[in-house]
Structure 1
Amino acid sequence: MFHIFIVGLCAVLVSCIAFYDRKKKIIVKSGSNRVNGNSSSKITCHAEEQAIKYCNKYDKKNKYDIYIWRYSKTGNIKSTSCCKSCTKLANKFNFTNRIYTFDNDNITNAIIDNPKVSLGNMIRNL
Structure 2
Amino acid sequence: MADDPEGLWNFLVELLADPATAAEKVGTPLVVHWTLTGDEPPYGLLGQAFQAALHHGGLRTKEGNGEIPVEWALELYHDIRRSLHLLELWDGISWDVFDEKLSDAGIKFLLDVQSRRA
TM-score past 0.5 threshold: no
| TM-score under structure 1 length normalisation | 0.28
Structure 1 or 2: larger strand share? 1
Between the two structures, name the one with larger relative contact order (CA 8 Å, sep ≥ 6): 2
| TM-score under structure 2 length normalisation | 0.29
Structure 1 or 2: larger helix share? 2
